[in-house]
Amino acid sequence: MLENLRQDVVDAYKNALAALENSYSPYSHFKVGAAVKFKGVEQVFYGCNVENASYGATICAERNAIWSGVAAVGKQDMEYLIVVADQKDPVPPCALCLQVISEFYDAEMPIYLGNLQGLQKVYKLKEILPVPFNSFVA
Ligand code: THU
């Protein structure tokens, strides 16, 4: 378990868990919650995965959180992302979500991964996605 976390990160983790509880996942039964913090924006945005009978229209918790943040305050630089799942080993963002995150690429950005017990790991974005595709920076 990660210790000595900033209070706003701990609060965002708890709210991400609350979002996880709202997960609509009748097909996978795999509940995920996410939080995104933008630089210079106090409000933190949350998301859960919302599945669909078509499967393909399912939206991940991370993208749900990011798009809700963009809808509220516009596209901003990202400060950190939190992903929580009810799993022993916490789950990183899937490749589709990483592609969305790459639009906000900051190599040093922390991605916190947690489960119901707490935040367990933190990676820098560059560790999870070392070679992003982004036509603006390529
Ligand atoms: N899921 C997420 O919400 N985030 C991830 O990073 C991995 C996968 C969701 C999608 C689907 O509803 C369920 O988890 C199983 O893949």
Of ligand 1's listed atoms, the one at least distance from the Cα of 58 is: 12
Given pLDDT bands bounded at 50, 70 and 90, which one contains residue 93?
A: very high
Q: Stretch 51-78: mean pLDDT, rounded?
A: 98
Q: Identify the band that residue 135 occupies on the pLDDT scale cut at 50, 70 and 90.
A: confident
Burial class (CB in 10 A: 0-12, 13-18, 19+), 29: exposed
**Residue 2 covered by a domain:** no
Query: Per the domain annotation, does 1 fall within a domain?
Result: no
Q: Is residue 38 helix, strand or coil?
A: strand
Cβ proximity of 31 and 19 under 8 Å: no
Whether 96 has a pLDDT exceeding 90, the answer reads yes
Q: How far is CA 128 from CA 14, 68, 93, in A?
A: 23, 23, 9
pLDDT tops 60 at residue 124: yes
Domain count, the chain: 1
pLDDT in tens, 22-48: 999 999 999 999 999 999 999 999 999
3-state secondary structure of 50: strand
pLDDT, residue 8, reads 98
CA 48 to ligand 1 center in whole angstroms: 9
Per-residue model confidence (pLDDT) at position 9: 98
Closest Cα to atom 1 of ligand 1: 60
For the chain, the average pLDDT equals 96
Give domain status of residue 71, yes or no. Answer: yes
- Could you tell me the CATH number of the domain that includes residue 97? 3.40.140.10
Task: Name the 3-class secondary structure at 37.
Answer: strand
- Answer whether 68's CB lies under 8 Å from 40's CB: no
Confidence class for position 137, pLDDT limits 50, 70, 90? low
Q: Is 51 in the pocket of ligand 1 (CB under 6 A)?
A: yes
Q: Does residue 28 have its Cβ closer than 6 Å to ligand 1?
A: yes
Q: Kindly state if the Cβ of 86 falls inside 6 Å of ligand 1.
A: no
* Residue 72 forms part of a structural domain: yes
Extract the tokens encoding 115: 């489960």
Question: What pLDDT score was predicted for residue 127?
Answer: 98
Residue 138 has pLDDT above 60, yes or no: no
> pLDDT band for position 134 (50/70/90)?
confident
Pick the residue whose CA is nearest to atom 2 on ligand 1: 60
The domain containing residue 38 runs over which residues? 7-135
Residue 45 lies in a domain: yes
In a domain, 43, yes or no: yes
User: 110-115 and 118-124: which strand pairing?
Assistant: antiparallel
In the chain, beta strands by DSSP E: 32-38, 44-48, 78-85, 110-115, 118-124
